[in-house]
Amino acid sequence: MSARTSLINAGNTPVTLRLKKRRRAEWRLKAYGIFAITLAMLALVALLNSVVRNAAGALTESYIELPVTLAADDIDPDATADPKIILRADFGGLTKRTLRAVFPSVKARKAKRELYDLLSNGAGFELAEMVSKNTALVGQDITFRFLASDVADLYLQGSYGALIEHTNHGDLTVSLDGDTATVSSSTPDFQTALDGLRAELLQHSAHLREQAAMQDAGVVEFMRRAEAATDAEAKAAAQAQVTARSAARDALIAQALEQEQRADAGQSGEDLTKSSPSLLINTAGGWIKLTRIEADSGVGEVLVPLKGESSDWSLYTTELPEDARKVSDRQIAWIESLKQAGQVDRVFNWRFFTASDSREPELAGIRGAAMGTFWTMLVTFSLAFPIGVFSAIYLEEFAPKNKFTDFIEVNINNLAAVPSIIFGLLGLAVIIGFFGVPRSAPLAGGIVMALMTLPTIIIASRAAIAAVPPSIRDAALGVGASRMQTAFHHVLPLSVPGMLTGSILGMARALGETAPLIMIGMVAFIVDVPSGITDSATVLPVQVYRWSDFPERAFEARTAAAICVLMGFLIAMNALAIFLRRKFERRW
Amino acid sequence: MNDMKLAEKTVDQTDIKFSAKDVQVYYGDNHAIKDVNVDILDKTVTAFIGPSGCGKSTFLRCLNRMNDTIDICRVEGNITLDGEDIYDPRVDPVQLRAKVGMVFQKPNPFPKSIYDNVAYGPRIHGLANTKADLDEIVEQSLRNAALWGEAKDRLQEPGTSLSGGQQQRLCIARAIATKPEVLLMDEPCSALDPIATAQVEELIDELRQDFSVVIVTHSMQQAARVSQRTAFFHLGNLVEYGDTPTIFTNPEDPRTESYITGRIG
């Protein structure tokens, strides 16, 4: 007779030990699950965070307000007041003249080019458009908000580092000699900058000495080889190496020594180079860029002329050296002086949602690609959904179960796994080549995407149909419904939610697809917003792909913003799938 | 088996509704029904009894050609309804099923309203020309199925919101709404509790006034309670067929006796 074991105090019997083991296994499984989900969540958060943060830069655009003289001689010399003639006038030149009028001291060619780079290439067109719409403006003096260039906009966003202001300074005296200004302060205001420069010199010399040490190691090694060498040729080669490397080592050490001496030179000044942060002085409405500093004085170049004299002055350091940013010190000085005059403003970038693709980042927008995606998806859905659903109904409800239908089924499943670029090849050869559908058009893209999505839709729809309980079919057949009535009155309504979910998931896959579109020419630079399914178009993922390839830094933010729009599309489609499923779901 | 009121079971009908001659049914290579000969009388409840897998449901499904939906199923022999061969190529199974209604083992109302459940058959067969006609048919069918009292105030509620017994009566109402001549019932009470079973059995007895009813059942008590004629199937053969009192009190075949006394099956 076995004694009854207590439920509360069972002790360590084999049964309880096995139970503990089971508990542990259960706990481990749960832990793995939680770990996996946490990992996925973190990845998602990191992804969204990086994309959204990058995209924030595309949210604003900058405008520079400048006075323009719309001289009739320039714009409309014959006084036609014809918008078409006005549109053809040289507004680009006018824009440049306007800029030069604001900064009359700019004379050098390079400086002029930098000045013109403050405004977008599209700014002149915008002015032309405004004047052509309101011809009464010809001959007047107006202020116009010119669109700032991508570089100016990025600087205003702080992408090229901030301008750091120094505090605690004495009185400044400026003596001008043409474009060169000599400044001196009553206190050693430039000491900090000087120390920074010297620290940099020491750092650099330390780096040079490291390299010299490496060369020295090479010298030792090749000397050893030269001694060990048996034939004369190898010995000569090693000797040559020793000579070359000693020379390189000595040159490096000499350079390091020179830099160390400069850093040690006590009170004497130091030159500022393009690879060290720039020092800018703002006084009396003008800007001076320092080229050489001592502890309490310096020599600089006047970037924006001073208006009279003022005891107020500020000293700024740029966060990045000039050769590490695209915006030059001159441009910074111009932008800052315009900003001080209140002529710069930043607004929400509506243009991004209303404009189409452009080579100029500040002019580029997402509308063309979004409309292309819309048209392509429209074609895809209106082809793939009915064909897919009817194929599924036929295969599931009517087709005889034989070898042939088995063969078809296997091939549909195989098609779902075919790489999408193959569908692109098919589209190129058959849809464009044979049927003559226009290239680069949403129609061609939509057909290819439909072919690609069909297997997914058929498989999902068949699963949805198969999930309808057979008792419903029996019931319908039992009251004398034909097979078609059974399918359409009873099976279809019950399987529609599943079909829609499957279709929308398939569409979501097509939405993010680029590869097949490469083959049919939808990877193209298209400036017009497509207005139908036969216009040339591109789609969102292709736009992302193209922008990510452009060298302009401002496209980085545009790329991220385009990804956000694409994700918006995806979320909207998934939300629609959930909504439809909830709406049509019926219980039995 | 004291509760069987066998004395009341009399057959006052002689009109033959269904007549089956030498019926063979194959599922692929499996010979499921062998040489079945049976005449089913009009306005009579006929019960098919027998152990599981004996072919009684298969034979029942031959009577309205529901076996057509199974690809591997093959029916041979001759089944006539009022003298017409129902397997004749000119016969449309849809037409046949309108005449021979069916109630299934598990209540299977459509996921629609109670009204639409009952109205579906008349709608697809065009039995009602106006909304009023349709309302009339729905009401009559629900009355005949003894569900009108419970359902009349909730006709627009889904059929699936009813209880199991009510759902089965709804299915009966749906089957009789197309005005069939024969009602086939495949174990209609196997998913129901005793109270619901009693209600359905009572209903079957009333339906006998208008229809010929064929019922497949596992419960011998049920067969004894509701039927006038009983057929005993065993291993695909029709072993014995006769008046219910005779089968239950004085079976000819020893297998029948073994089954009803609980020794086989």
What is the value of ipTM here, to two decimals?
A: 0.85
AA identity, residue A174: V
Position A47 scores a pLDDT of: 94
Among A229-233, A345-349, B111-115, the least confident range:
A229-233
Residue of chain A whose Cα is closest to the Cα of B160: A588
Query: What's chain B's average pLDDT?
Result: 86
| B125 interface with A at CB cutoff 8 Å | yes
Test mutation, A479, A482, A489, A491, chain B, max B CBs within 10 A: A479
pLDDT tens for A9-43 read 777 788 888 989 999 999 999 999 999 999 999 99
Q: What DSSP assignment string belongs to A360-375?
A: STTT--SHHHHHHHHH
Position A158 scores a pLDDT of: 87
Position B4 scores a pLDDT of: 46
Contact A472 B110 (CB under 8 A): yes
Smallest CA–CA distance, residue B150 to chain A, in Å, is 20
Residues of chain A contacting B110 with CB distance shorter than 8 Å: 472, 475-476, 490, 588
Position A366 scores a pLDDT of: 92
Contact B95 A588 (CB under 8 A): no
Contact B160 A588 (CB under 8 A): yes
Query: What's chain A's average pLDDT?
Result: 88
Backbone φ and ψ for A578, nearest 5 degrees, come out as: -65, -45
| A481 interface with B at CB cutoff 8 Å | yes
| A482 interface with B at CB cutoff 8 Å | yes
Contact A478 B111 (CB under 8 A): no
Smallest CA–CA distance, residue A500 to chain B, in Å, is 19
- Residue A88 above 90 pLDDT? no
Residues of chain B contacting A584 with CB distance shorter than 8 Å: none
Residues 568-587 of A with CB under 8 A from B: 586-587
pLDDT band at A586 (very low <50, low <70, confident <90, very high): low
| Stated pTM of the model | 0.79
Contact A479 B109 (CB under 8 A): no
Contact B108 A494 (CB under 8 A): no
- Residue A212 above 50 pLDDT? yes
Who among A471, A479, A485 is closest to B174 (CB)? A479
Lookup result for tokens 């179960």 = A401
Residues of chain A contacting B175 with CB distance shorter than 8 Å: 478-479
Test mutation, B61, B124, B184, chain A, max A CBs within 10 A: B124
Q: What DSSP assignment string belongs to A85-130?
A: HHHTS-HHHHHHHHHHHHSTT--SHHHHHHHHTTB-TTHHHHHHHH
Position B1 scores a pLDDT of: 38
Within its chain, how far is the Cα of A113 from the centroid? 27
Residues of chain A contacting B120 with CB distance shorter than 8 Å: 476, 479, 481, 489
Smallest CA–CA distance, residue A481 to chain B, in Å, is 6
Contact A400 B71 (CB under 8 A): yes
Q: What DSSP assignment string belongs to A170-194?
A: --EEEEEETTEEEEEESS-TTHHHH
| B98 interface with A at CB cutoff 8 Å | yes
- Residue A441 above 60 pLDDT? yes
Smallest CA–CA distance, residue A494 to chain B, in Å, is 8
Smallest CA–CA distance, residue B139 to chain A, in Å, is 17
| A475 interface with B at CB cutoff 8 Å | yes
- Tokens representing residue A523 in the block: 């990877």
Residue of chain B whose Cα is closest to the Cα of A588: B111
- Tokens representing residue A61 in the block: 């655009």
Residues of chain B contacting A400 with CB distance shorter than 8 Å: 71
Position A267 scores a pLDDT of: 57
Who among B95, B97, B160 is closest to A477 (CB)? B97
Position B3 scores a pLDDT of: 46
Residue of chain A whose Cα is closest to the Cα of B176: A479
Do residues A273 and A305 lie in contact, with contact meaning Cβ atoms separated by under 8 Å? no
pLDDT > 70: percent of chain A: 98
Position A49 scores a pLDDT of: 94
Contact A474 B108 (CB under 8 A): yes
Residue of chain B whose Cα is closest to the Cα of A478: B102
| B124 interface with A at CB cutoff 8 Å | yes
- Residue A78 above 90 pLDDT? no
| A403 interface with B at CB cutoff 8 Å | no
Residues 23-52 of B with CB under 8 A from A: none
Position A266 scores a pLDDT of: 62
Backbone φ and ψ for A284, nearest 5 degrees, come out as: 50, 40
AA identity, residue B105: Q
pLDDT tens for A126-165 read 998 888 888 888 888 889 999 999 999 999 988 888 888 8
Number of A–B residue contacts, CB under 8 Å: 68
Contact A480 B108 (CB under 8 A): no
- Residue A226 above 90 pLDDT? no
Contact B97 A400 (CB under 8 A): no
Residue of chain B whose Cα is closest to the Cα of A587: B111
Nearest-angstrom CA–CA distance, A61 and A157: 9
- Residue A327 above 60 pLDDT? yes
- Residue A1 above 60 pLDDT? no
Do residues A246 and A295 lie in contact, with contact meaning Cβ atoms separated by under 8 Å? no
Helix axes A367-393, A492-511, angle to 10 degrees: 140
- Residue A306 above 50 pLDDT? yes
- Tokens representing residue B60 in the block: 């029942």
Nearest-angstrom CA–CA distance, A408 and A412: 6
Residues 156-185 of B with CB under 8 A from A: 160, 171, 174-175, 177-178
Of residues A484 and A172, the one with the higher pLDDT is A484
Half-sphere exposure of B248 (CA within 13 A, CB side): 26
Residues of chain A contacting B104 with CB distance shorter than 8 Å: 471, 474-475, 478
pLDDT band at B7 (very low <50, low <70, confident <90, very high): very low
Position B2 scores a pLDDT of: 39
pLDDT > 70: percent of chain B: 94
pLDDT tens for B54-75 read 888 889 989 988 888 887 888 8
pLDDT tens for B169-187 read 899 999 989 888 899 999 8
Class of domain A361-584: mainly alpha
